[in-house]
Amino acid sequence: MELIYKDDWDEARRRMEAWWEGEIIDRVPIKISAPIQKREIKKDKSWSLSMDNLKGYFTDPRQVIPRLEKPIENTYWAGEAFPVMFPVSIGMVAILANYLGSPLKFMDTQTTWSVPIIDKWDECPEFSFNPENEWWKKTKVLSRQQ
- What's the rounded mean pLDDT across residues 2-6? 86
User: In a 3-state reduction of DSSP, which class is residue 77?
Assistant: strand
The pLDDT of residue 95: 83
The pLDDT of residue 91: 57
Which has the higher per-residue pLDDT, 102 or 85? 102
Confidence of residue 70 (pLDDT cuts 50, 70, 90): confident
Per-residue exposure over 128-142, b if at least 16 CB sit within 10 Å of its own CB, e if not:
eeeeeeebbebbeeb
- Please provide the DSSP assignment of 112-140 as one string: EEEPP--S-GGGPPP----TT-HHHHHHH
Contact present, 102 and 115 (Cβ < 8 Å): yes
Which has the higher per-residue pLDDT, 65 or 77? 77
- What's the rounded mean pLDDT across residues 9-20? 96
Query: Strand 104-108 and strand 111-114: pairing?
Result: antiparallel
Question: Which residues have C-beta within 8 Å of that of residue 125, sequence separation ≥ 6?
Answer: 101, 117, 118
Q: How far, in whole angstroms, is CA 114 from its chain's centroid?
A: 15
